[in-house]
Structure 1
Amino acid sequence: MPLDNLLTSLRELPESATRDAYLRFLDSAGDAALRRNGGPEHVTGSCFVFSPEFDHVLLCFHRKGQFWVQFGGHIESKDASVAEAAQREAREESGNGELVLLSPAIMDLDRHELHAGFSCTAHWDVGFAAAITPGVEISVSDESEDVRWFPINELPAQVPAGFCARLERVRRTAMSS
């Protein structure tokens, strides 16, 4: 069951205010937290895609948000876990059907408010990581305007607030996994 799997994974993380807020949200919302139509706030899964050397990151230019960001989206009924949803979304949005998560371990938690263009008010994002070779074929999905590799130290200006710090935390965690 995806909710039980997520609760177990969250409880395995070190205690933090963010982790505890996720646990409170899931305890109050239950299974509805994992459905797009389960309420104005719900869980999403995302995937940071790195080069094998962890010196480049593959980002998409989000059509609705108008910023560069990691791949991700809503959990679907066919997804057995949030990690599986993150992997599926990364495959769909990057055009790389062979992409595989480095680990099923949670590497990022980011609750963010949503604005114009979104039907929901907030996403409780659960992030994972993958690594693929920059030379592999990628393509742009209908949810993005572009997909492109960036050197870790030369990210584009149009990224969400706090993204650079999150990316660096995920990169360090992924490198040690």
Structure 2
Amino acid sequence: MLRDWRPAAPEQDALRHSFLAFLSARPDACERACVPGHLTASTLLLDHSGEYMLLTLHPRIGRWVQLGGHCEGGDGSLAGAALREAVEESGITDPVVDPTPVHLDVHPVTCSLGVPTRHFDVRFRAHARPGAEPATSGESLDLRWWPVREPPDGADDLGPLITAALR
């Protein structure tokens, strides 16, 4: 899927090539036990109008972020992993996920294994159906709809993802 994806921004294409090189070098890149780094999938979940985004207050980092997490064996695809994580974390059972990535990001993190690593995050856009009501799960301290043009304080790093998702 990443081989065929053509992002709009040149820096995203350079990052796409880095992801492909990492995947080629690490057959275990989808497993969280891959200490040098591993693929994750996340979703910027928009309301049906596209004017609001659902963010989660992440318990480990204490910041508002998009929904997402680690890939699991039964996901079938990165978009499938992103959808599963969005459903698990939001309680919204039927979001519509665009199967084409909108953004890539790599960032350092200390995962649940307690070891410093990197997340190679493939990011998707999804829309909730009208009337969708989120429900906080054990994976989140809070969930909230935020205007896409007014992200919460401390969420400046979401800017490129929001821009890409609104294209």
User: For the Cα contact (< 8 Å) 1:93–1:143, is it kept in 2?
Assistant: yes
Q: Which whole-Å CA distance do the structure 1 matches of 2:22 and 2:136 have between them?
A: 33
Query: Is 1:17 equivalent to 2:19 in the alignment?
Result: no
Deviations 1:26-75 (A, max 9, x none): 01012x00011133410001111012221111110111111111100001
Residues 92 and 128 in structure 2, CA contact (< 8 A), matched pair in contact too: no
Partner residue, 1:109:
104
Runs (4+) of structure 1 exceeding 6 A deviation are none
Aligned to 2:23: 26
1:113 maps to amino acid: P
Checking the alignment, whether the CA contact within 8 Å between 1:58 and 1:70 is kept in structure 2 is yes
Aligned twin of 2:163: 168
Are 1:80 and 2:72 counterparts? Answer: no
Q: How does 1:1-177 map to 2 (within 5 A)?
A: 9-14=1-6, 16-30=13-27, 32-101=28-97, 103-115=98-110, 119-133=115-129, 135-159=131-155, 161-172=156-167
Shift of 1:120: 4.3
Paired letter, 1:170: A
**Separation (CA, whole Å) in 1 of partners of 2:35 and 2:140:** 24
**Identity across matched positions, percent:** 37
Superposition deviation, residue 135 in structure 1: 3.3
1:164: how far off? 1.3
Per the normalisation by structure 2, the TM-score is 0.89
The structure with more helix, counted as a fraction of residues: 1
Provide the C-alpha distance between the structure 2 equivalents of 1:139 and 1:38, rounded to a whole number of angstroms: 31
Mind listing any 5+ residue stretches in structure 1 that lack a counterpart?
1-8, 173-177
